[in-house]
Amino acid sequence: MKRRIFIAYGLTALTGLSGPFSAVAQSLTDRMAMPPLICAHRGWIDPSGTENSLSQMHRTHQAGPFMMEIDLAKDKTGRIVLLHDPDVDRTTTGHGPITELSQEAVQKLHLKNTSGTTLEHIPAYSDVLDWAGSTPDALLMLDIKDVLPAEALKPVRLHKLSNRVVVLTFHEKQAREAFAADPEALVSVLIAKPEDIATYRKIAGARRFAAYVPQNSDPALFKAAHEAGAVVITDLLGPTAIVDAVSPEECAKRARTLPIDILVTNTPLKLQAALKKRL
């Protein structure tokens, strides 16, 4: 997810994600009394970890719990897996586009991180959904990339996870398809100007949607999205998306002014600590 978004935060108004955040479900009032929902970019605790890794997601969840942002791609056989780049070169022991590799070839690859090659393979999307389904407080943010919304959301519905996912869309056609694919999933749309809010409010109809607002937008755009009833999402990511643009401490200083519900970061634990310090 390579989008630079303004850094901000506000009290959670996350009715679109009303699924349980612990073994005992919490009410919206409970959630609004807490800091914003922190989402771990690529599922890691920090960029030294293994991105889009199921074992890393286990560790990150245990440290939080945090929402998990994951990237979806399809191999040559049409199986959905977790991978950010179009090719496998940067994050695995393999080479070439994922769309040219069979399921068997993908399963032979090992994931890499800053320390070198790991023992882990590219996770199947179905395995991640199995994990989330067995973990009551697991929440997922889906960057579906070239995977069709219907393909990404059908297994979500089968796993009964619709109220525990956010699906990211970045143009109107994709957003319309996502709204149609699952009547319960929270669909995030890109809001770059005030007119976008009205457009997506009309498309969404009576259902709630999420607004993903770009980094350098006027603060009024965040407030307008919030006033329109949207769940407002932002992130702390820098130009490469692998590191955050500013420190967690700087984010905490800026986090007083705007109504943001979900913060996506590469360092969820550090952001969590910085936000707690100001309370």
Domain ranges of the chain: 15-277
What predicted TM-score, i.e. pTM, was given to this entire model? 0.89
> Which segments in the chain show pLDDT lower than 70?
1-35, 278-279
What per-residue confidence (pLDDT) applies to 260? 87
**Which residues does 179 contact at the CB level (< 8 Å), separation at least 6?**
187, 203, 204, 207, 209
Other CB atoms within 10 A of residue 239 CB: 9
What per-residue confidence (pLDDT) applies to 279? 57
What per-residue confidence (pLDDT) applies to 51? 97
Q: Which fold has domain 15-277?
A: TIM Barrel (3.20.20)
What per-residue confidence (pLDDT) applies to 217? 83
Which residue carries 């929270």 as its tokens?
Answer: 186
User: What is the DSSP secondary structure assignment for residue 157, as one 8-state letter?
Assistant: H
- Closest-CA residue to 42 (of 66, 71, 62): 71
What per-residue confidence (pLDDT) applies to 19? 39
**Which residues does 4 contact at the CB level (< 8 Å), separation at least 6?**
214, 215, 216, 235, 237, 238, 239, 245
**Which residues does 13 contact at the CB level (< 8 Å), separation at least 6?**
28, 32, 226, 231, 259, 261
